[in-house]
Amino acid sequence: MTGTITKDGSEIPLLEAEKLTKIFGTLKACDGIDLKIGAGEIHALLGENGAGKSTLVKMLFGALQPTSGDIAWKGERFTVTSPAMGRSLGIGMVFQHFSLFDALTAAENIALSLDEKSPLDTIAARAREIGQTYGLPVDPDALVGDLSVGERQRIEIIRCLLQNPDLIILDEPTSVLTPQEADLLFVTLERLRSEGKSILYISHRLEEVRRLCDRATVLRHGKVVGQCDPRTQTAASLARMMVGNDIHVIERLPAEWTDRIPLIEVNGLSQRPRGPFSVALHDISLSITGGEILGIAGVAGNGQGELFEAISGEVLQERPQVVRIRGTDAGRIGISARRTLGAAFVPEERLGHGAVPDMSLTNNLLLSRHSTDRKMFLTGGVLKLVSESSLASAAKRIVVQMDVRKSAENPDASALSGGNLQKFLIGRELDRNPSVIVVNQPTWGVDAGAAALIRQALVDLARSGSAVIVISQDLDELFEISDRIAAMVHGRLSESVPIEAMTMERVGLMMGGADATAGAA
């Protein structure tokens, strides 16, 4: 570290948080957290979902105000009252979910974020210069809607660097990148460190934390439970610090099929873009028999969402045979009708798509069941009524099986953390014991313990004889549970490769289009 030295020879941290506490109602999201970040270090912030990471960094950046505690910046105590003040001090943040306008150029998006206004051509020139300096090439005049996710992340980092920060907070920066793009990002971060800049690095990917970070602070239930040099730890020991016990190891027995009859088929699926920033699908075919998991890799924005919509029935096809479920042409029927054929679907977006935010868990469960399933929740004679006790019993069963943690007996979906809502949504579909399930980003933003639970549940379903499609940007996840892996590139699906023949390098090339050809998966 290369920070300021005091008269007694000790080093003043770049940033120091002392007893930082944030209370929301009766919930203590952060409970007396101490954190020191030195100049010129990459410091990991680790913890499972709900550990307090997001609340902590928002207080450091000025987006939230602490209930109590102090923040010192370069040895002086400050109350960081807003993100603008945080930026003026020298604190920058790149959020996990990008805040870019698709219809604007890269330069226009950068201009909107700057506290000091400059001519657009000046901003474009500075962005191009910083991009070249730090290995983040981007065209300032390009429309964001036309850019890949990796290019969009470069814009976010460049507009952060334009503020000339001394500390950069990065939240899950590699979650949307190919392995090759992640390697390039690591080179950039190591250069920033060599220049004396500090980075607070939040990630669930523990191997990259071990590779990149100098120190780590681990949170659990809002408290600091450990600090270490991650380079001296294993991924398993870091995970154990995060959750308090050993992480479940996925048990994936070899796939065994009693027959080779496909349960889900897509035959020559082509689809025009549904909007200005939607992706066209080109001649996609796949076939999955019971007992196996097909993993679909790809950088976000290459047609994965459109493929999910087509398979689930959110978007109908002109020809019924384009989608077949258990031997039945399903291309012209909607979601509920596909559910009656034994299919289940879990979309990428949890709130608003997978669940109605302001409805209770039991009512969200009722909404998701097609007419046949709803019969188990009805009581009475000619005039059928919903049996609240039957609904509550089913919801409780899902909560127990998936270890869903909640603060009330039957809370609204929006009251659950992202990871716990994801466990409930997947459990809701698994509770039907479907013959086919399609899951888009099953463990997005989910901690290691919850991710292991979800992955094992999907493996168990497949080995019981169901066909499983997992669309994921997490390559470690796909390697852990898939029997075959294919990749989406510019609306095309590559040939699938058996997991025994797949490598990280190969899937990275497939995701980049270097080894991607349309064909049957």
What is the block-wise mean pLDDT of the chain (521 residues), using blocks of 10 residues? Answer: 52 94 90 96 90 92 96 94 94 84 92 87 94 88 82 89 94 76 88 95 90 96 95 92 82 69 95 84 96 92 92 96 97 94 92 90 85 59 64 92 85 85 93 95 80 92 95 91 95 95 91 60 63
> Is residue 283 assigned to a domain?
yes
Number of domains forming the structure of the chain:
3
State the maximum Cα–Cα separation within the chain, in Å, rounded to a whole number. 86
Looking at the structure, do residues 441 and 489 belong to the same domain, yes or no? Answer: yes
H or E element in which residue 241 lies: helix 235-243
Phi first, then psi: what are they for 377, rounded to 5°? -105, 5
Residues 320 and 363 reside in one and the same domain: no
Q: What is the DSSP string of 22-89?
A: EEETTEEEEEEEEEEE-TT-EEEEEE-TTSSHHHHHHHHHTSS--SEEEEEETTEEE---SHHHHHHH
Report the C-alpha gap between 379 and 239 in whole angstroms.
46
In a domain, 35, yes or no: yes
Confirm whether 168 is domain-assigned: yes
Single out the residue in 243, 278, 313 at which a domain terminates.
243
pLDDT confidence of residue 518: 39
C-beta of residue 152 within 8 angstroms of C-beta of residue 100: yes
pTM metric for this prediction: 0.73
On whether both 416 and 444 belong to a single domain, the answer is: no
* DSSP label at residue 232: G
CA neighbor of 64 nearest in space, from 22, 118, 16, 116: 22
Distances (CA, A) of 289 to 257, 323, 406, 465, 520: 8, 14, 36, 8, 13
Q: Is residue 3 part of a domain?
A: no
Euclidean distance between CA atoms 227 and 45, whole angstroms: 10
Q: Domain range holding 409?
A: 353-432
Residues 183 and 100 reside in one and the same domain: yes
Do 315 and 416 lie in one domain? The reply is: no
CB 435 within 8 A of CB 466: yes
d(CA 494, CA 517): 5
Residue 182 lies in a domain: yes
Both 144 and 43 in one domain: the answer is yes
Beta-carbon contacts of residue 43 (< 8 Å; ≥ 6 apart): 37, 198, 199, 200, 201, 213, 214, 215, 216, 217
Amino acid type, 401 = Q
4 found inside a domain: no
Three-state SS string over 325-345 comes to ECCEECCCCCHHHHHHCCEEE
Q: What pLDDT shows up at residue 169?
A: 96
Q: How far apart are CA 414 and CA 224, in angstroms?
A: 27
Whether residue 367 sits in one domain with residue 327: no
What was the pLDDT predicted at 126?
93
**Using the 8-state DSSP alphabet, how is residue 291 labeled?**
T
Residue appearing with tokens 């069941």 = 369
Do 153 and 184 contact (CB within 8 A), yes or no?
no
In a domain? residue 419: yes
Residue 273, phi-psi category: left (phi > 0), alpha (psi -120 to 50), beta (remainder) = beta
pLDDT score recorded for residue 372: 53
Q: What is the CATH number of the domain that holds 237?
A: 3.40.50.300
Q: Which residue has the tokens 């814009």?
A: 155
Residues 31 and 126 in one domain: yes
Q: In the listed set 370, 397, 432, which residue is the last one of a domain according to the structure?
A: 432
Tokens of 96: 């996990």
Instruction: Confirm if 115 and 89 have CB atoms less than 8 A apart.
Output: no
Query: From the centroid of its chain, how far is CA 70?
Result: 31
Asked whether residue 416 falls in the same domain as residue 460, the answer is: no
